[in-house]
Amino acid sequence: MVYHGIIHRYKGLLDIPQNIKAISLAEGNTPLIPAPAVAKALGASFDLFIKFEGLNPTGSFKDRGMTTAVSEAAHSGAKAVICASTGNTAASAAAYAARADMRAVVIIPAGKVAAGKLAGAIAYGADVIQIDGSFDDALTLVIKLSEKHPIALVNSLNPFRLQGQKTAAFEICDALGEAPDWLALPVGNAGNITSYWMGFTQYNTLKNTRLPQVLGVQAAGAAPLVLGYPIEKPETVATAIRIGKPARGEEALSAAQVSNGMIVSATDEEILAAQDLLAASGIWVEPASAAGIAGLKNKINDGTIDLEGKQVVAVCTGHGLKDPDIIAAKFKQPKILPPDLMTLEKEILHG
């Protein structure tokens, strides 16, 4: 059977106009990949699944929220959309706007967007504007621009974004039969953690699927929700979550508290180590996406959470291909040898 995306699959559960025409790229329906070797490396005996959101059409979870936000914008007659972005929102907005025959304007912090995301936004035909400022500066500006001009804001302040993104929680419950004991995920602008909590809560009310404890993980250099105050100059290798003033910070803190979970931080070193650990199981994610695993590891190590015998889902939000500069961050360029059998044999056998 052909799969038609999250609006088609879950429309009756989404607070969107029910006669909406779906602008879709068949997003969602992402796998839960068992990751026993990762769980073992974290030093506890539990069932770990990776919800690999990097397998969405533009390579990140943003597509779930963009199908609903852009469909609604088109439904309301908008001819253009705008967003601030650390990269993935920009690429996703660009793709869905192209699909809807609308203009996309994306404002990004210069020099702080991973190559695969910028390339995507350009390839899908967005008007890309770089500013000499942070994501938070860009968000403040696009809010003002969307208030002054007839251009639809598609950052996660747009409630239709959350309506789409909550479907990931539905999919997890549909696949496992109920919510996992814990859900771990990265937190940047905090739209996604808010959406998951909305989704799990709605499903539990409808279908009694229980609620997970939620572990939100920020990068240590961009951890306003852990520290309790905005960060003026956030800095992290996980550029996707290089955000100092999360728009949905209050909702994120509430989800963590009500679920008996927590919001914690992980250092860049810990995030990159978690990225390695996932890659060693064949799952290559961008740095931000490994934050959930890094946070789990920290909390297992310091004894704060006991996962023994538990079922855990870690959301890996974006594909590794988004951020190919991993070669600069972690490895030297592979050396270049003459095309000669003996030289290659020597290299392979003796290094």
Kindly determine how many residues on this chain lie close enough to bind ligand AN7 according to the rule CB under 6 A.
22
Beta strand ranges found along 14-171 (DSSP E): 32-34, 47-52, 80-84, 103-109, 127-131, 152-153
Residue 294 makes CB contacts below 8 A (sequence gap 6+) with 217, 266, 267, 270, 271, 273, 274
18-57 mask for ligand AN7 (x: CB under 6 A)? ----------------------------------------
Q: Which residues pair with 217 in a beta bridge?
A: 186, 264
Say whether residue 58 binds ligand AN7 (CB under 6 A).
Answer: no
Does position 14 bind ligand AN7 by CB under 6 A?
no
The answer to whether residue 68 forms part of the interface with ligand AN7 (CB under 6 A) is: no
Specify burial of residue 236 (Cβ count, 10 A radius: 0-12, 13-18, 19+).
Answer: buried
Of 28, 317, 51, 283, residue with least CA distance to 182: 51
Would you count residue 192 as binding ligand AN7 (CB under 6 A)? yes
- Shorter beta-carbon distance to ligand AN7: residue 99 or 112: 112
Closest approach of Cβ 319 to ligand AN7, in Å? 9
DSSP, residue by residue, 40-70: HHTTS--EEEEEEGGGSTTSBTHHHHHHHHH
- Does residue 288 touch ligand AN7 according to CB under 6 A? yes
Instruction: Please report whether residue 202 would count as binding ligand AN7 according to CB under 6 A.
Output: no
By CB under 6 A, tell whether 244 contacts ligand AN7. no
Q: Rule CB under 6 A: is residue 86 a binding residue for ligand AN7?
A: yes
Q: How far is the CB of 303 from ligand AN7 (least distance, A)?
A: 27
Q: How far is CA 144 from CA 67, 103, 154, 158, 204, in A?
A: 23, 18, 13, 14, 37
- Is residue 167 a contact residue for ligand AN7 (CB under 6 A)? no
**Can residue 241 be called a binding residue for ligand AN7 (CB under 6 A)?**
yes
The answer to whether 298 contacts ligand AN7 (rule: CB under 6 A) is no
DSSP 247-290: TTHHHHHHHHHHTT-EEEEE-HHHHHHHHHHHHTTT--B-GGGG
Near ligand AN7 by CB under 6 A: residue from 240, 262, 263, 283? 240
Q: Does 190 bind ligand AN7 (CB under 6 A)?
A: yes
User: Is 275 a binder of ligand AN7 (CB under 6 A)?
Assistant: no
Binding site for ligand AN7 (CB under 6 A): 60, 85-89, 156, 186-193, 240-241, 286, 288-289, 317-318
